[in-house]
Amino acid sequence: MNFYKSLTVSIMVLLFSVGILASFTTLATQEKDTSVQLGPRPFYLINGMDEGKLKTDLQACKKGPFHKTNFSISHRGAALQFPEHTVESYKAAARMGAGIIECDVTFTKDRKLVCRHSQCDLHTTTNILSTDLASKCSEPFTSAEFDPVTGELVKHASAKCCTSDITLEEFKTLKGKMDGANPRATTVEEYMQGTAKWRTDLYSARGTLVTHKESIELFKELEVKMTPELKSPSAGMPFQGNYTQEDYAQQMIDDYKEADVAPKDVYPQSFNLDDVLYWLEEDPHFGKQAVFLDGRYGDSGFDHTKPSTWSPDMKEMFDNGVRIIAPPMWMLMKVDNSGNIFPSVYAQHAKASGLEIITWTFERSDLRGGGEGQWYYQTVDNVIDNESDKMNVLDVLAEDVGIIGIFSDWPASVTYYANCKNH
């Protein structure tokens, strides 16, 4: 009898333990939820499209299912509505199905790597001006000035606060906010209230800043690939006399090695071709899928429609080991006399030379009034009548240009398209 009682008790304890284990397992699964939730915006954009085959095709996918995709690349997180390069912004991007997330990399006064779009943007992307650290900014807040007679603005309000002005410990005390500044401000409080009207401050109550190493750990948890951009330093290099550009470029890659991240999961980026060539030479496992961000549109003499002005040209870049090039969207398109969008000469030459193409940046323009004056759409602005027309642009980039991915400030819109069109 005692034997059976003991056996019964043992079984009950075992079942209870299994139940607890199952509960913990369920809880862990819930905490690591990586399901894709797109929200209403992609549906809003598609419903606003002109009638046609593309709209019909996209509407047919409205019930999903939708999955994470590497075609959808998060630009600074989900910067359309969340403070850029914050934990909250990154998590929102992953929730919307971005398969690759970006950390723009720069360094602090004590040479620690952090995620910021620019070394000197703390005055527009964080609360630094409202803290004691404002005294350490390269240039303090200066009030706007107005003509005393006409009231006309004669001098914009300004400030300049850099990551290289402060230590990592100090950086971590700051909070992210929506990028923006009020040029007419006469107080710090007014200056910090500069969010564009077509964006929102709804999610800016907390913006948790991250180091580069913290971003790597977060992205591993979110099960996404990573695309760090080595930002051009505003501080003179070599910084503090002995921190060179090569040291900086290597430090970024070393953080992935230290975190045991596979090279295939990392797409290092830079507007500086020398950085890309450095990675190809010194760390080819990471360098082989490094991305050259083509910003030569700002160079004197460069014309994206004239191959003779490209130096190096596409073939030379390919021969030097570059495999992915990333220009802004407008460089990849042109419009014919009938109003049709098709691949530009630049796009055709890149593909013919064997280069893969990534482009930027979707959902970063206010197209509610059309495309006129919108930088990212400057070669096709005459056929952009409203914000839904951007879906036609996305389709041309994907189907005709043949891009392998696109950065977006709101990944959900790209995720919807990519899932629907099998990209």
Alpha helices, H only, 118-210 = 122-125, 168-171, 188-191
Asked whether the bond before 312 is cis by omega within 30 degrees of 0, the reply is yes
Residue 184's pLDDT is 98
CA distance 187 to 191: 6
With 70 as the cut, is the pLDDT of residue 10 above it?
Answer: no
Residue 309's pLDDT is 98
With 50 as the cut, is the pLDDT of residue 28 above it?
Answer: no
* Average pLDDT of every residue of the chain: 93
With 80 as the cut, is the pLDDT of residue 2 above it?
Answer: no
- What mean pLDDT is predicted for residues 381-403? 97
Strand partners, 407: 73
Share of the chain above pLDDT 90, in %: 92
- What mean pLDDT is predicted for residues 321-328? 98
Residue 3's pLDDT is 41
CA distance 327 to 317: 14
Residue 20's pLDDT is 33
Strand partners, 406: 72, 359
pLDDT digits (tens, 9 = 90+) for 153-187: 999 999 999 999 999 999 999 999 999 999 999 99
- What mean pLDDT is predicted for residues 255-264? 98
With 70 as the cut, is the pLDDT of residue 32 above it?
Answer: no
Whether 417 contacts 423, CB under 8 Å? yes
- What the block records as the tokens of 387 is 């914000």
pLDDT digits (tens, 9 = 90+) for 202-223: 999 999 999 999 999 999 999 9
CA angle 80, 83, 84 (to 5 degrees): 80
Residue 383's pLDDT is 96
- What mean pLDDT is predicted for residues 267-289? 98
Residue 203's pLDDT is 97
**Best CA proximity match to 203, nearest among 94, 103, 77:** 77
Per DSSP (E only), the strands in 303-419 are 324-326, 333-335, 341-343, 356-362, 405-408
CA distance 203 to 250: 35
Q: What SS3 string covers 35-86?
A: CCCCCCHHHHHHHCCCCCHHHHHHHCCCCCCCCCEEEEEECCCCCCCCCCCE
- Please return the burial class of 323, using the count of CB atoms within 10 Å of its CB with bins 0-12, 13-18 and 19+: middle
Confidence of residue 35 (pLDDT cuts 50, 70, 90): confident
Confidence of residue 34 (pLDDT cuts 50, 70, 90): low
- What mean pLDDT is predicted for residues 334-355? 97
pLDDT digits (tens, 9 = 90+) for 104-152: 999 999 999 999 999 999 999 999 999 999 999 999 999 999 999 999 9
CA distance 248 to 391: 38
- What the block records as the tokens of 295 is 């910003």
**pTM score, whole prediction:** 0.92
Alpha helices, H only, 223-354 = 245-258, 273-282, 284-287, 314-319, 345-352
Alpha helices, H only, 263-354 = 273-282, 284-287, 314-319, 345-352
Is the four-CA dihedral 373, 377, 380, 386 of positive or negative sign? negative
- What mean pLDDT is predicted for residues 237-251? 98
- What the block records as the tokens of 229 is 């951009």
Query: Which residue, chain included where needed, has tokens 């007419």?
Result: 184
- What mean pLDDT is predicted for residues 369-396? 97
Confidence of residue 195 (pLDDT cuts 50, 70, 90): very high
pLDDT digits (tens, 9 = 90+) for 282-308: 999 999 999 999 999 999 999 999 999
